[in-house]
Amino acid sequence: MKQKIITMLELQDTMNTKVNPDWRHAGYEWYRAIWMEAAEMLEHYGWKWWKKQNPDAMQVKLEVVDIVHFMLSIRLLQKGSMKDIAVGIANDFENSMQAEDIRKSIECLALLTLTDQGAHFSFIAGIMKFLEMPFDELYEIYVGKNVLNIFRQDNGYKEGSYQKIWNDREDNEHLADILQVLDCDSATFRDDVYNRLQQTYQKEVAA
């Protein structure tokens, strides 16, 4: 787990740097992004008692991944090596916290984040338990989504030249196909994802 968390931290630093090379001193309100995403997570799960709602588990998981992006950014601002930061995050995952149900757990995450503007991985771990979402699933989706974001930037996303639709399918769909055939435990997983994206992009866009 610790090595995978280090990989996630490195990817997050790479992505943040592509957006703003001086992101560590930009004063971004990462905490605000977390509680806003938490609200979206609750919306996808469902909370309205006056109408029938079925939880959209996959969308809730994707919101978990989005929140983890911002939490990693907060931790990267702390002093210490990547290894030390990864150890702290791993300890949080191993000591998960949760309320009596997932809705209240999401609210606790939002409340704590607003209170101290910190990154509460222990509550993310608790929410993941309600979703029956193992760490490896979080890792796989996170790496895939992060590498796709980096790939987009490398291929003209910011300039507007990137083509998000490849042969009538969104790049997210192509990413899902790629993740199904790759081994997330491989030491070259993130590079494998990027290379497959590049191969598919060149093939589909050229076609």
User: Residue 81 and residue 96: Cα distance in Å, rounded?
Assistant: 23
Quote the pLDDT of residue 206.
65
Indicate the pLDDT class of residue 183, thresholds 50, 70 and 90: confident
Q: Which amino acid is at 200?
A: T
Distances in whole angstroms, Cα of residue 30 to Cα of each of 67, 78, 196: 9, 13, 31
Segment 24-55, tens digit of pLDDT? 999 999 999 999 999 999 999 999 999 998 98
Residue 108 sits in the same domain as residue 150: no
**In which domain, by residue range, is 69 found?**
2-131
CATH number of the domain bearing residue 27: 1.10.4010.10
Start-to-end Cα distance in the chain? 40
- Domain shared by 22 and 74, yes or no: yes
Each residue's pLDDT tens digit, 114-129: 999 999 999 999 999 9
Query: pLDDT tens-digit profile of 145-156?
Result: 888 888 988 888
Number of Cβ atoms within 10 Å of the Cβ of 60: 23
Whole-number Å distance between alpha carbons of 118 and 71:
8
One domain, residues 66 and 154: no
| Residue range 121-147: mean pLDDT, rounded | 94
Placement of tokens 């001193």 in the chain = 25
Helix ranges, the chain (H): 2-19, 30-45, 57-76, 82-94, 102-116, 121-130, 135-154, 171-181, 189-206
Number of domains the chain contains: 2
